[in-house]
Amino acid sequence: MTSGPESKTPGFGLPGSGERPLSQGGISGRTWPPGEEGLRPHFRVLGIESSCDETAAAVWDAEAGLLAHEVFSQFDLHRAFGGVVPELASRDHIRRLLPMVRTVLEAAGTTPADLRGVAYTAGPGLIGALMVGAAVAESLAYAWGVPVIGVHHLEGHLLAPMLEPEPPAFPFVALLVSGGHTMLVDVEGVGRYRILGESLDDAAGEAFDKTAKLLGLGYPGGAALAALAEQGRGGRYDFPRPMLDRPGLDFSFSGLKTAAMLALRERPLDEQARADLARGFEDAVVDTLVAKALRALEATGRRALVVAGGVGANRRLRSRLAEAAAARGARVYYPRPGFCTDNAAMIALAGGLRLQGGERAGLALRARARWPLDELAPPPH
Of the two residues 208 and 251, which places its CB atom closer to ligand KG4 in the complex?
Answer: 208
Q: Is the Cβ–Cβ distance between 186 and 300 less than 8 Å?
A: yes
Please report how close the Cβ of residue 317 comes to ligand KG4 at its closest, in angstroms: 7
Report strand pairing: 182-189 vs 148-152.
unpaired
Select from Zn ion, ligand KG4, none the partner in contact with residue 208, using the beta carbon and a kind-dependent cut-off of 5 to 8 Å: ligand KG4
- Angle, in degrees to the nearest 10, between helices 271-300 and 315-327: 40
Total of residues contacting ligand KG4 (CB under 6 A):
18
The nearer residue to ligand KG4, 179 or 191, going by C-beta atoms, is 179
For ligand KG4, the closer CB: 141 or 174: 174
Cα 90 to Cα 48, 173, 211: the distances in Å are 14, 33, 27
Binding residues for Zn ion, rule: CB under 5 A, are 178, 342
| Candidate list 205, 232, 335, 352; residue touching ligand KG4; CB under 6 A | 205
Name the segment binding ligand KG4 (CB under 6 A); options: 140-148, 202-210, 260-268, 355-363.
Answer: 202-210
3-class secondary structure, 323: helix
> String of b and e for 191-216 (b: at least 16 CB within 10 Å)?
bebebbbbbeebbbbbbbbbbbbbbe
**Cβ-based nearer residue to Zn ion, 186 or 342:** 342
- Per CB under 6 A, the list member of 208, 251, 253, 339 interacting with ligand KG4 is 208
Question: Which CB, 116 or 181, lies closer to ligand KG4?
Answer: 181
Residue 27 or 183: the one with the smaller Cβ distance to ligand KG4 is 183
Answer yes or no whether residue 335 interacts with ligand KG4 by CB under 6 A. no
β-bridge pairing 182-189 and 117-123: unpaired
| Least Cβ distance, residue 231 to Zn ion (angstroms) | 28
Q: H helices of the chain, where? A: 75-78, 86-107, 127-144, 153-159, 204-214, 222-230, 254-266, 271-300, 315-327, 337-340, 345-356
- Positive or negative torsion for Cα 266, 201, 306, 117: negative
Subset of residues 220 to 279 that bind ligand KG4, contact rule: CB under 6 A: 220, 222-223, 226
Shortest CB 264 distance to ligand KG4, Å: 19
- With CB under 6 A as the contact rule, the residue among 55, 178, 199, 211 that binds ligand KG4 is 178
72 versus 208: smaller Cβ distance to ligand KG4: 208
Give the integer Cα–Cα distance in Å for 98 and 196. 38
Angle between helices 254-266 and 271-300 (to 10 degrees): 160
Cβ-based nearer residue to ligand KG4, 130 or 143: 130
- Which of the choices ligand KG4, Zn ion, none does residue 205 contact, using the CB cut-off of 5 to 8 A by kind? ligand KG4
Residue 1, CA distances (Å) to 61, 66, 105, 229, 349 in order: 16, 11, 12, 30, 17
Q: Does 310 bind ligand KG4 (CB under 6 A)?
A: yes
Other beta carbons less than 10 A from residue 247's beta carbon? 7
Task: Please provide the size of the chain in residues.
Answer: 381
**Within positions 339 to 378, which residues make up the interface with ligand KG4, using CB under 6 A?**
341-342
Residues that bind ligand KG4 (CB under 6 A): 52, 178-180, 205, 208-209, 220, 222-223, 226, 309-311, 313-314, 341-342
